[in-house]
């Protein structure tokens, strides 16, 4: 009972402070919108819009048959829209967004290619951007087909004994280009997402908030330690902790009381963000309500235990903020809340995958993106609980050593 009294005291202390609401609720909601908006910005689908990627075309080699064929291939493409440019205007056109990239045909290209020599085309683009990467993929396929047609032309002409006959080369090239235009290997490959037990009408697998919502939820749950961690510091400053220690309350009861309050704060925040995500952003946490609850409880326990540990380590309020922010940066980045660990380097991803924040993300993503049920929450929950226990044990050890 005394544990609950202590927890209630902490909770009233935190919720009386209006600033707490900024960190606990307003900022995470604003950031969730913001990140979702950022993820979504590249995937605006409007049927009336020309969605082809604008590609600058700079031909420094006149009207040779190879570059002309490439121009025709790209002009007929459903993926790119050609915009004719000159070499001088390429950088400016990319910078102003008129084109996403530019393909430059070098001087002497047709002659070199026809002679079987290397003559690379240059794609000028920002490959960090989605459009830049898409352009590279599209052009790689087109250039492969073009160069294949050139090679086949030469092989064919040689085989029939007319390697230098311009007319034969032109005919063979036209024939190869025509045959390639009808070959579509990409249509022979179908990609399917593996999603379990999710009826189509309730499925939000392509919702950009499926990454943003749990990511921000985990990040700001850690950030919430700023509010809860300061309680222990305040108690020490005001000598309340010393007075508590002189009562019949045992050390572990004091620690448990504070831990319970921190758990309450973090869990309330997570619950609010889950409800907000479900109702306002269409993030389907209710695909497995019990699974969401289990992961949320375990996540709250781990963060509360970490908050307790920070509270026993720091000396003043500003250190709480600093330690909480550092914890947030490290666990958020390594745990894949900012960007999926798949895009990180191997070592980073390997370290990240063992982080408790990564297990929390896995727990939520199993439900939100993989469409899995309660059974998928057991493993992440178990691992988060193990982390909570380790941090709690460390906090008790520090608390017993603390000079109050």
Partner 1 sequence: MKILDIALKDLIRSTRSLFLIGMAFAAPLLITALIYFSFGSIASGNVDMPTINVGVVNLDVLPANSLLEAPLGESIRSMFFDESVQSWIHASDYPDEASARGAVNAQEIGVAVIIPASFTEDYLAGNKDTVITILQDPTLSIGPTVVRDMVTSLLDGVAGGGVAFKVLTERSEANGQALDPATIPTFFETYSTWYANFQRAMFHSPDKAALVVKSPAEKGDTGNNVQSMMGMIMSGQLIFFSFFTGAYAMMSILQESEEGTLARLFTTPTNRTTILTGKFLAVLFTVIVQGAVLLTAGRYLFNIRWGETGSFLLSFMGQMFASVGLATLLVSFIKSSKQAGFVFGGALTTLGMISGLFTANIQIAAFDLMGNFTPQGWVLKAWKLSLAGQPASELVVPFLVLTTMGIVMFAVGAMLFRRRFA
In the region spanning residues 276 to 305, those forming contacts with partner 1, defined by CB under 8 A, are none
Distance CA 287, CA 198 (A): 8
* Nearest distance, CB of residue 338 and partner 1, angstroms: 8
Of 26 and 393, which has the nearer Cβ to partner 1?
Answer: 26
Distance CA 244, CA 251 (A): 9
Of 77, 112, 129, 240, the residue at the interface with partner 1 (CB under 8 A) is 129
> At 48, which helix (H) or strand (E)?
none
**Coil, helix or strand for 80?**
strand
The torsion of the CA quartet 216, 221, 224, 225, rounded to 10 degrees, works out to -130
* Nearest distance, CB of residue 344 and partner 1, angstroms: 4
Of 147 and 293, which has the nearer Cβ to partner 1?
Answer: 147
Of 7 and 327, which has the nearer Cβ to partner 1?
Answer: 327
In angstroms, the Cα distances linking 320 to 234, 324, 370 are 11, 6, 37
* Nearest distance, CB of residue 20 and partner 1, angstroms: 10
Which residues, including other chains, have CB under 8 Å from residue 152's CB and lie 6 or more apart?
172, 176
**Interface with partner 1 in residues 20-59 (CB under 8 A):** 22-23, 26-27, 30-31, 34, 37-38, 41-42
Of 8, 25, 83, 143, the residue at the interface with partner 1 (CB under 8 A) is 143
115 DSSP 8-state letter: T
**Interface with partner 1 in residues 192-251 (CB under 8 A):** 192-196, 205
* Nearest distance, CB of residue 393 and partner 1, angstroms: 26
Closest CA to 211 of 373, 332, 345: 332
Cβ contact 198:205 at 8 Å: yes
Which residues, including other chains, have CB under 8 Å from residue 12's CB and lie 6 or more apart?
none
**Interface with partner 1 in residues 66-125 (CB under 8 A):** 90-91, 94-95, 97, 101, 118, 120-125
Of 82 and 325, which has the nearer Cβ to partner 1?
Answer: 325
Residue 271, interface with partner 1 (CB under 8 A)? Answer: no
Other CB atoms within 10 A of residue 174 CB: 14
**Interface with partner 1 in residues 315-334 (CB under 8 A):** 318-319, 321-322, 325-326, 329-330, 333-334
**Interface with partner 1 in residues 336-395 (CB under 8 A):** 338-350, 362, 365, 369-370, 372
């Amino acid at each position: 009972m005394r544990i609950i009294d202590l927890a209630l005291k902490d909770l009233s202390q935190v919720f009386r402070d209006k600033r707490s609401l900024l960190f606990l609720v307003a900022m995470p909601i604003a950031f969730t919108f913001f990140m979702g908006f950022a993820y979504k910005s590249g995937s605006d689908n409007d049927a009336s819009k020309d969605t082809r990627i604008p590609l600058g075309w700079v031909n420094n080699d006149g009207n040779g048959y190879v570059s002309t064929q490439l121009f025709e291939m790209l002009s007929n493409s459903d993926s790119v829209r050609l915009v004719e440019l000159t070499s001088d205007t390429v950088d400016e056109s990319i910078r102003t967004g008129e084109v996403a990239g530019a393909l430059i045909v070098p001087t002497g290209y047709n002659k070199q290619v026809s002679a079987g020599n290397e003559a690379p085309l240059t794609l000028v683009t920002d490959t960090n951007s989605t459009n830049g990467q898409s352009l590279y993929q599209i052009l790689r396929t087109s250039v492969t087909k073009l160069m294949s047609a050139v090679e086949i032309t030469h092989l064919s002409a040689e085989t029939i004994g007319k390697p230098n006959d311009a007319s034969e080369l032109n005919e063979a090239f036209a024939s190869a280009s025509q045959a390639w235009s009808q070959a579509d290997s990409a249509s022979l490959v179908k990609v399917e997402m593996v999603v379990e037990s999710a009826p189509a009408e309730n499925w939000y697998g392509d919702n950009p908030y499926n990454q943003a919502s749990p990511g921000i939820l985990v990040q700001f749950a850690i950030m919430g330690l700023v509010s809860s961690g300061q309680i222990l510091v305040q108690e020490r400053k005001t000598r309340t902790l010393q007075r508590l220690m002189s009562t019949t309350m045992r050390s572990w009861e004091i620690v448990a009381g504070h831990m319970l309050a921190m758990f309450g704060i973090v869990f309330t925040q997570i619950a609010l963000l889950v409800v907000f995500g479900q109702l306002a952003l269409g993030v389907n946490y209710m695909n497995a309500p019990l699974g969401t609850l289990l992961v949320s409880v375990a996540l709250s326990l781990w963060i509360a235990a970490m908050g307790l540990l920070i509270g026993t380590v720091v000396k003043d309020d500003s250190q709480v903020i600093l330690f909480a922010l550092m914890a947030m940066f490290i666990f958020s980045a390594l745990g894949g809340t900012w960007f999926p660990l798949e895009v990180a380097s191997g070592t980073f991803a390997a370290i990240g995958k063992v982080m408790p924040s990564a297990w929390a993300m896995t727990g939520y993503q199993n439900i939100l993106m993989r469409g899995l049920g309660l059974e998928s929450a057991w493993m992440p929950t178990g691992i988060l609980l193990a982390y909570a226990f380790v941090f709690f044990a460390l906090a008790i050890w520090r608390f017993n050593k603390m000079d109050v």
